[in-house]
Amino acid sequence: MESAMSAGIAVAEALQNQLPWLENVWLWVNFLGDPKSLFLFYFPAAYYASRRVGIAVLWISLIAEWLNLVFKWLLFGDRPFWWVHESGYYSQAPAQVHQFPSSCETGPGSPSGHCMITGAALWPIMTAISSQMATRTHSRWVRMIPSLAYITFLLAVGLSRVFLLAHFPHQVLAGLITGAVLGWLMAPQVPMERELSFYGLTSLALLLGTSLIYWTLFTLGLDLSWSISLASKWCERPEWVHVDTRPFASLSRDSGSALGLGIALHSPCYAQRQGIKRKRESCKLT
């Protein structure tokens, strides 16, 4: 594992020093691949285009983010920006790498959340576009464009995380594979017409499940705040350590999104709008 981490630092050094003109590109890709962007941008845009795809993006995002939190607690992955100091790597082979404001995330590093969560959530968008193109063209190459764009974007997100010293390549690879598998498994299982209690119980299950896992590991003597301490210790600037990168911040977003989705789908405004839409569709059919 030490050799894999050393190789990861070498890759990050090459990205930072051999291709300095791509710095702004990596920073933008990192922003576009941030799980928070799924809730703020991708979900509203997808919902505007297709109700089912939009709900799928939100649902898969919150479940994948919760699973990513659990995986990180269980796998105890280091992040490059603190590992180079804690391991003594600098004293053995000084690396010409530097940090960025997005480097100092406080959660454990394995697997990459950017790759895992974004990869899972963008799966229904990719498959929806692919099916649309399949009905409009017989060209095999044209039908492959959405899949190629999906893979290219996720690879770029992974490289941006290595560039920022936020993840090692093997953590990125784990996130990419896990995200694609989750997207493939969860896309057909999106809850579209469920009772409000289902969403409320889902929100409660996320909170209670995480608390149970946390206190179980804590009782076993595992310090789950170890990554926060290392991030605060080795981040170049204290202001780069953000509260919203802590594990329980994502849990609040996920449980709130699950409950909010249920309330929104059962609100009178939404029901009235759906009723008007059904009337219009029946008129068109007549």
Which residues are marked as active site?
Answer: 114, 167
**Tokens at residue 129, please?**
């576009």
What angle do the packed helices 113-121 and 123-136 form, to 10 degrees? Answer: 40
Dmax (CA) of the chain? 78
Q: What Rg do the C-alpha atoms of the chain give, in angstroms?
A: 21
Question: H or E segment at 155?
Answer: helix 145-163
HEC sequence for 237-260: CHHHCCHHHCHHHHHHHHHHHHHH
Gap between the Cα atoms of 65 and 210, Å rounded: 12
**Tokens at residue 119, please?**
């990869």
